Structure 1
């Protein structure tokens, strides 16, 4: 999963625009960046590597459809919820130890995920991974802003962007290679175990290399606000993920309504904290800017659109069409290439086109997703190949590259410069919440239409009907042999058909999200200062 780079906030009045922290040389600043990016590489690699492992996880621990959605959504939700608190804790106690604690937590959770023997343990480990990732991400951007002068900060953020692109692109392929080499039964565990040596090296290096900067902010944390927001989002996500599988019982609607009520209470609480001179989790005054409100909705909707693409394609390619994890990983390469190429050009185009680069990006993503939907609508699932999907995935990847890097700066530009830091935190949180909601909605559509429970009954009925003719042919010694062979044959045919139909509708939902994003991008200013 890709990230946006927050815009550095303006310094308080009366202070110089930038001054080097005591004892931090230029060489140490770059060494610090290298250590920080080790952690970032690991967390982003882990995000995309998991998609190709979902079908093998399902078979290995007998996971249900909801578990697969929670593996992605639980991580994204936990990551997003702690971004703002982690940034505040870094300001108060120092970013060094916040980074170390987050990276340690992520590494330990990776071990737990790899050792998980059941769905519940795996989901809990993924949630803790998300917490760890959300804790150590804010210190990365904070250190860049603190350690590098303006003329070098752009280069540091560019290197960070390149690491984001490369790690996101490598994830599916690395995951496929690991599972191919170590087998589908246990190979998926090593996509988590691979984090252990990287994490240990990163923690040790961070202890010795990262400077301990003087903490400044002393504001109290809004833990009750965080609890209300977390409760609201969980109350909304649980029925979205579990509802289809359980037939939408009454509790799902009660939970959705309760989530809305908690969101209202969260908004009221944040206003109360702000009115009392406290430090709210999400400053309400930011939303007095209509363009900022629209921009945060854009962040949510856009991330809901593009993060759900490979959840759908990975399950179609492996569970539906019977391809290997490596073959599934290779499908994503055109998107990754387009993303890396466009991201490298996005800053130059943003200076030239202004908001036009974001319009171009969202339009290309929408066009790519609509093309994918039309292909799945008109081509039988069994006839799908990597080559058929190459062009639309490349187009969507180019669009994603144009949008991801500059979008946060355009949204932040809708508020006062003194509010840039708080605005960046809200945007990052909305992106992750969008990812979680997108996966929840798309998985509900995908598994609802695939109807895997009904598929088993359909296969059994076809096998029962076909056994007499199969026995008359003389090809099978016993009815049990005929049933086994016919079951495999019908399973392959019907899985492809069911997953093809389901993936078609799931990609249609992703395309709708993308089209809404195209409309929302026009709420942003036409031009902003990018330096």
Structure 2
């Protein structure tokens, strides 16, 4: 998506104070979005118990958000370019705050899913504007410091989300059970709207691409045709209509590709720039993004259910158990970008995939060895190993994937990477039906043997995670050996010195 600013460089004095306040607003919005993803997972068992949500509904509570967020990301960015980043950002924050309230007061599981879909769509309007507003508000020499702050916000969101979710659920404030995990967004969102209207300056792209609503409908329709029967099929005994629907999704995706080619010829503003896939490393990188998202989608869902429904741990105990994982991610991410990737290139990402697989296998062994008596401190080692592996992947992945993409397409490539990350996560959550729930012995659960049943299903799901990570590792061999974002050299051409533009980080979700 385009991030070209039309505003003049910020002035000194009062204007300088205004832009830092504007930065505080957009960073708060980013933090709110990041926390809202991780905060929900830890509350899943409480939601199931309180409003009688089925396992498939639990999947849709997170899957619906991810799907709506992914489907609207690129379009949200273009709306900001056309109608104004400040206007669309405030619209997205308003929708996100309203949807958070609806989530917090939902008394029916299906209404909660609908509110989460609305929340994901609102986030798709809000999040793409954040970096564009920064780009329009701060001069180039200050953006490095600003993007460093965003990195800290991402790390803080990853660490604090599960803990905050655990505390809010455990405290049962005012007898509201899990609902404060959503309602906490209300005062933050309202304050952000008031301050954002006052301090964020408006900006637009001088030559924004047109909207591709047909492309959005086709892509979203194809994904729903695949994910809905995948998620609901187990509860209905895997009916014929589900298999036909998933097969039909292939035809819809084919129609999407055909329309995108037509859109490219017609006005040069397709939803997806298909020419990017002619770059072998980018095509493989998109495969890495999707597969990695699938692995994460499966792991985080089954991990939470295993600890709380299987082992009977409280939300707080489960949330604190994840601290070693978050620390591993944060530490490894910083080291990988600053020290390792400049020297070793894609080998760092491959080492991350191997480390994650090793952590998964170690976790499977520990779960079997210690049984239902396993303690949080015994989980620390596999979680640290997995966290380090994830940190080695997530921080440098985007720059590595777009290393050989032509500079004029770097914005589109970054937007597509963000989208595919979320799509992979949504697909992974859908696959939980097959990887976990399909092998969960519900009869054993009904006979008060939930611990063993959930442990067996957890280990089965973790083997799925290991298998998907093996695919991630294989695809990484097609990435450039050394990431040099902005070079745009052909894959087989000798590298030439170039002037690299300032790159802005892609906000991970």
On the 8 A contact 1:57/1:63 being kept in 2, the answer is: yes
Please show how residues 52-67 of structure 1 align to structure 2 within 5 Å: 52-67=42-57
Distance of 2:397 and 2:326 partners within structure 1: 19
**Mapping of residues 42-61 of structure 1, within 5 Å:** 42-61=32-51
Which deviations, in whole Å up to 9, do the C-alpha atoms of 1:60-91 show, x marking residues without a partner?
11110100100111111111111100111111
Are 2:369 and 1:414 equivalent residues in the alignment?
no
Deviation at 1:372, TM superposition (A): 1.4
The CA deviation string for residues 13-49 of structure 1, in whole angstroms up to 9 with x for no partner, is xxxx998446585544333221101001111111001
Task: Tell me the residue number matched to 2:224.
Answer: 234
- 2:460 is the counterpart of 1:527: no
SS of equivalent residue, structure 2 residue 179: helix
The answer to whether residue 347 in structure 2 is matched with residue 352 in structure 1 is: no
Query: How many residues were matched structurally?
Result: 483
> Equivalent residue for 1:478?
none
Structure 1 counterpart of 2:444, from 449, 455, 458: 455
- 2:460 aligned with 1:505, yes or no? yes
State the partner residue of 2:359.
Answer: 368
Please, which of 210, 216, 227 is the counterpart of residue 220 of structure 1? 210
* Distance of 2:6 and 2:53 partners within structure 1: 52
Per the alignment, residue 485 of structure 1 pairs with: none
In the alignment, structure 1 residue 265 sits paired with structure 2 residue 255: yes
Change (3 A) 1:332 1:22: closer
In 1, are the aligned partners of 2:7 and 2:203 still within 8 Å (CA)?
no
1:362·1:518 contact (CA, 8 Å) conserved in 2? yes
What is the RMSD of the two structures over their aligned residues, measured on CA atoms? 2.1
Deviation at 1:345, TM superposition (A): 2.0
TM-superposed deviation, 1:278: 3.5
Q: Output one character per residue of 1:72-130: Cα deviation in whole Å (capped at 9) or x when no partner.
A: 11111111111100111111111111111111111100000011111110000011111
Q: Whole-Å Cα distance in 2 between the matches of residues 227 and 510 of structure 1?
A: 30
Say if 1:75 and 1:130, in contact at 8 Å, map to a contact too: yes
For 1:289 and 1:206, the matched residues in 2 are separated by 40
1:197 aligns with 2:152: no
Q: For the residues of structure 2 that align with 1:412 and 1:94, how far apart are their CA atoms?
A: 27
Q: Deviations along 1:203-244, whole A, 9 cap, x unmatched?
A: 111111111124423532110010000000011111111112
TM-score (normalizing by structure 2): 0.91
Structure-1 separation of matches of 2:91 and 2:355: 39
Work out the CA distance in 1 between the residues paired with 2:444 and 2:342.
53
**Which range is displaced more, 185-194 or 34-43?**
185-194
What displacement does 1:157 show? 1.4
> 1:440 matched to which residue of 2?
430
Find the aligned partners of 2:174 and 2:359 in 1 and give their Cα distance.
31
C-alpha distance after superposition, 1:401-429 (max 9, x if no partner):
22212211111122101100000111100
Q: Secondary structure at the match of 2:26?
A: helix
Query: Structure 1 pair 265/184, CA: closer, same or farther in 2 (3 Å)?
Result: farther
* 1:206 equivalent in structure 2: 196
Q: 1:186 aligns with which of 176, 181, 187?
A: 176
Moved more, 403-412 or 68-77: 403-412
Equivalent of residue 416 in structure 2, options 414, 421, 426? 426
Give the secondary structure class of the aligned counterpart of 1:262: helix
Q: Is it true that 1:173 corresponds to 2:141 in the alignment?
A: no
Q: 1:148 aligns with which of 138, 147, 150?
A: 138
Superposed, which structure 2 residues align to 1:237-316 within 5 Å? 237-316=227-306
1:185 to 1:242, Cα distance in 2 relative to 1, 3 A: farther
The answer to whether structure 1 residue 39 and structure 2 residue 29 are counterparts is yes
Moved more, 248-257 or 435-444: 435-444
Stretch moving more, 50-59 or 337-346? 337-346
Q: CA contact under 8 A between 2:298 and 2:431: conserved in structure 1?
A: no
CA distance in 1, matches of 2:270, 2:204: 23
Change in Cα spacing, 1:208 to 1:310, as seen in structure 2 (3 Å) is same
Q: Residues 245 and 448 of structure 1 are in contact (CA less than 8 Å); yes or no, is this contact kept in structure 2?
A: no
Report the Cα distance in structure 1 between the residues aligned to 2:393 and 2:148, rounded to whole angstroms: 15
Indicate if the aligned counterparts of 1:354 and 1:526 stay in contact, CA closer than 8 A. yes
Moved more, 349-358 or 85-94: 349-358
Query: 1:22 and 1:167 mapped to 2: Cα distance?
Result: 29
Q: Distance in 2 between matches of 1:221 and 1:439?
A: 29
Q: For residues 305-362 of structure 1, what are the alpha-carbon distances to aligned partners after superposition, in whole Å with 9 as ceiling and x for unaligned? A: 1243221111111111211111111111111111111222232122232223222222
Structure 1 CA distance, aligned partners of 2:208 and 2:135? 20
The structure that has the greater radius of gyration is 1
Query: Structure 1 residue 442: deviation in Å?
Result: 2.2
* TM-score when normalising by structure 1: 0.87
Q: Which residue of 1 aligns with 2:19?
A: 29
Q: 1:336 aligns with which of 326, 342, 346?
A: 326
Q: Which residue of 1 aligns with 2:100?
A: 110
Partner Cα separation in structure 2 for residue 254 and residue 331 of structure 1: 42
Task: Find the aligned partners of 1:428 and 1:96 in 2 and give their Cα distance.
Answer: 21
1:247: Cα distance to partner? 1.2
More deviation in 64-73 or 359-368? Answer: 359-368
8 Å contact kept, 2:61–2:113: yes
Q: Is the 8 A contact 1:33 1:144 kept in 2?
A: yes
> How far is 1:391 from its partner?
0.8
Match of 2:492 in 1: none
